[in-house]
A and B are shown apart, each in its own frame.
Chain A
C-alpha cells in the first residue's frame, strides 16, 4: 500500500508529560526555542539547547530512533552546507584542493551549523510527534486569534489545515485505488524516462483531481447543511486550558533562553575552552 510510506507530521500516540501539555504552550515554546537556537552562537549555547532537547525527548517517551529516522531527509542538505562553510570561510588553512581552501574556522562553523540543523529538526518534530493534528490546529487558531483584529482569518486558516490533514490518508487511499485500476488497464507507472513517467501520471492525476473537487464540494455542502458559517461565536468540544505544568514548561524555556542570550553577550562567538 502507498500509505505505508513516510508521512510528514507523524503523531506518536502515548501518554507523557510532553503529550499532555497544552498545544498553545508547545507552539509558543517551539517558537521561542527556534529564535534562541539562532541567537546562540557559542559552544555553551549549543550545549544547553542540546541538553534541553534531549530532556524533552526523554520526557516525551518518543523513541530516539524515530527522531533519528526523521533526520534522514536532511542529511544531504547538512553535508552540503557544511562543505560550503568549510571551504568558503576565511581563516587558517587546514588543507587545500586546487583553488579550494579548507579552513579550521570553517570546519568549526560548519560543525555548529550542522548541529543547529539537527537540534532544530529534532525539537520541531517533537512538536508534531507529541501533538495530535486536531490539537495542533486548535492551538494554532488560538495563537492566531489576536491577529484576526487586523484581518487574518485565524479560524478559517485552522479549519483549512484540519481539513487538509484529515484528507491526506483519504487521498492516498484514493490514489492507490485509481493507480491499481489503471494498472488493470495496462498502465505502467514504473518504467520509461522522465517524460514518459510524467505522462503516465495523467491517468492518475485527472481522476484524482476530479474526485478531490467532488469531495470538496460535498464537504462544503455537508458543512453548510449543519449550519457552519465560520468562526464567529463558535465554541469547541474540547476547550483548551492552560495548567500549572504548561506555565512551568514555558518558564523553563524562558530561563534557558536567558542563559543562551547571556552567553552570547558574555562570550561572543568563541570556541570551547579546550579548542582555543
Chain B
C-alpha cells in the first residue's frame, strides 16, 4: 500500500512539474506565427495537390505570405480563392482567368482511320515510346487514355477514341499536359471558346489523306478575322486568345470544321458532373 502511494505521489509530482514546464516554455518561447499565414492557409483548398509547385498548401501559404508566390498562385482555387487571399494580403488579386485543359484533336474513330489493332500496354506513353501510332495521323490523340488515368479530378474521358476534357471538373493542374506524349493538351482560358482543335503541322493534302477533321492550313480563318486574333503557324492555325472576341466567323468559314464554336462542350462530357458527385 505504501509503495503504491509513494509511486502515485512521485509520478504525479513529476507529471505536474513536466506539465508546468511545458506550459511555461510554451508561454515564454512563444513564436508569433504570421497571422496572415494561417488565414491564407484557411482559404486554400487543402488537398495538397502540389499543382502550384510547392510541397503542399502549408508551404504555399508560407510562400504567399513571404511574397514568393503570387496571391493567385493556386490553380485549383481559382479566382474566388485568389480574391480572398488578395484581401488578406492587402493586394488586389490580378483577375486570374480560370483555365481549363483542352485536347487539340478532333480525330475520332470516324474522322481518322485506325492503323490495325493495338495489343500492348494500354497507355499512350508506352505506345509512343515504342514508336507506335494507333491512327494514321502522327499528331493526333492516341486514344489509350493516359490523361484519363492521370487526371485527379476524373475530368477527362475518351469519347469516340479521342480524349475530351470536361471544363466544369477541370482544375487546370496541368498533369495531363505533362502526360500526353503527343503534347496535344494545353491550358486555355475557360471563357475563350474559339479554339483550334488540331495539332497536325503537315501540309493540307497530307492532312486530308489521314483525317477528315484536321487543319489543312488553308488560312481562310485568318482572312475572316477582323481582330488579328488568328494566325498561321506553319500550316496550322493558331488563336491568340487575348485578341479573340469570339465572333465565331473563323469557325463558320473553316472547311474542316476544326475551329470550335462558342459552345464546345460535347453532350457526353456535359453530363459528367452528376456521375462525379455520385463517385
Q: Answer yes or no: are A and B bound together in one complex.
A: no
Using a CB–CB cutoff of 8 Å, the interface residues on chain A facing chain B are none
